[in-house]
Amino acid sequence: MQDIYDTYHPPGFSSMNTYLFVSRAPAYITFLRNAFYAEEITRTLRPDGTTIANAILKIGDTHFMIAEASAGFSDMRTCFYLYTQMVDSMYKNALQHGAEAVFPPSDQDYGDRQGGIKDPWGNYWWISKRLSETDYE
């Protein structure tokens, strides 16, 4: 079955990717840049010249897309699982930029060090570091 997904996708993208519709997309992009060191790759505006039709961002080695929510595409919430070497400092940085604490970083019994936050748009982020180079079992 894997062959059905063996097609070209741009560097940084995989077979399945995140695409968020959010209210106040420019402010959300600013939050992501400040809290998680996201890099904005591209930004395309709608014909009005002010509304984001599509922005491509990158966190770590992962690209994802954001667009301004509208009547046809409502604001959405999700949860992200972010791997980083800097769990504690990334957690604190997100809080300093407006995120809300869900749970503080601690070592989990499934082998991750992890802390949880809720961003100002209502998305949850599990900020994690794998403590060993083993698979989840």
Strands 62-68 and 19-22: parallel
Query: 14-62 pLDDT, tens per residue?
Result: 888 999 999 999 999 999 999 999 999 999 999 999 899 999 999 999 9
User: Residue 133's beta-bridge partner residues?
Assistant: none
Identify the pLDDT of residue 135: 85
> Is residue 81 classed as helix, strand or coil in its secondary structure?
strand
112: domain CATH number?
3.30.720.110
7: domain CATH number?
3.30.720.120
Identify the pLDDT of residue 2: 61
Sequence letter at residue 109: D
**Which of 45, 76, 107 is the endpoint of a domain?**
76
pTM here is: 0.90
Residues 1 and 67 occupy one common structural domain:
yes
Residues 71 and 120 occupy one common structural domain:
no
State the residue range of the domain holding 107: 78-137
Residues 58 and 84 occupy one common structural domain:
no
Low-confidence winner among 8-12, 23-27, 70-74, 90-94 (lowest mean pLDDT): 8-12
The residue to which tokens 């060191």 are assigned: 37
Query: 68-86 pLDDT, tens per residue?
Result: 999 888 998 999 999 999 9
